[in-house]
Amino acid sequence: MSLTLTSTRRRTAAAILTAALLVPLAACGNDDTKDDTKKDTGGSTASGSASGAPAAQLTVLAAASLTDVFKTAGAAYEKSHPGTKITFSFAGSQELVAQVAQGSPADALITADTKSMDKVKADTGTPVIIARNRLVIATGEGNPFKVDDLKDLADTKLKVVLAAPEVPAGKYSKQILDAQKITVKAVSQEPNVRAVLSKVELGEADAGLVYKTDAESAKDKVDAVEIPDAQNAVAKYPAATIKDSKNAEAAAAFVAWLSSPEAQKILQDAGFQKP
């Protein structure tokens, strides 16, 4: 009986000693786990990507003329930043600026001109130019009406469509037409440059002024008539984070990436010019 009691006491003491040794080990394990997990600025827990930027669900407001190239760029970014998902919202720059001013939730903004970005400078970080663009005259495939230059757009027999004056593409169009003293009676003024392109693609307009990259994206449906540099305007695309972003660090990483060699190659392959 005495032997049994002694054995039992020994086993109990051993168990207590083992438990005491395991407690600090478990605590160390928890600290390591915390070190491997980063929290985004919105307070949600997210694992860091291979690049060091935190994983996040980003909403990016971008000018309509970036629609095609940003689909490619977004996929490339997500591939190199596991855990990050980007949702783009494309529209005319004036619409995007209005959304930011109204406090719509978003993480980054890219406009097609610096003036639009300036309107919300109190709501954004410091912008950086990521690309440039130029206008061309878009016509139906084969250029059936033989449009050769800007002067031809003054022909009242032509159905010409332009972007509205408050849209960057519309401002640039007015700028170059006024400089050449050319009066164009547009059959419609569209809310963004992609709407202008669509009208020409569908045959609802004979010609329209769009960015070179827009015409390039639809080269199987429209022809692009080049405008000499001396008569053209240069569109600048600034990108900035939005101060109220709940994913500030991840948003800053994406905006910085847009100036990287990888992103610049994607932009330039699509016809955009260097910043």
pLDDT tens-digit series, residues 191-207: 999 999 999 999 999 99
Return the pLDDT at 40.
37
Reported as a pLDDT band with limits 50, 70 and 90, residue 52 is low
Looking at domain 50-132+237-269, its CATH architecture is 3-Layer(aba) Sandwich (3.40)
- What pTM value is reported for the model? 0.79
What pLDDT sits at residue 59?
Answer: 98
Residues 6+ apart with CB under 8 A from 228: none
Average pLDDT over all residues of the chain: 86
Q: What is the mean pLDDT of residues 216-238?
A: 96
- State the pLDDT at residue 13: 42
In this prediction, residue 203 carries a pLDDT of 96
Q: Among residues 150, 103, 163, 130, which one has the least CA distance to residue 236? A: 130
35 vs 74, higher pLDDT: 74
CA distance 70 to 248: 20
Sign of torsion over alpha carbons 61, 64, 66, 69? positive
Question: Which stretch of DSSP H or E encloses residue 193?
Answer: helix 193-201
**77, 145 in Cβ contact below 8 A?**
no
Domain boundaries, given as residue ranges, for the chain: 50-132+237-269, 133-234
Where is average pLDDT lowest: 43-47, 99-103, 134-138, 217-221?
43-47
Q: Identify the pLDDT of residue 220.
A: 94
| pLDDT at position 51 | 52
Two domains, one topology: 50-132+237-269 and 133-234: yes
β-bridge partners, 134: 234
CB atoms within 10 A of CB 144: 11
Q: Residues 143-157: what's their mean pLDDT? A: 97
Report the CATH architecture of 133-234. Answer: 3-Layer(aba) Sandwich (3.40)
Question: For residue 43, is pLDDT > 80?
Answer: no
CA distance 155 to 153: 5
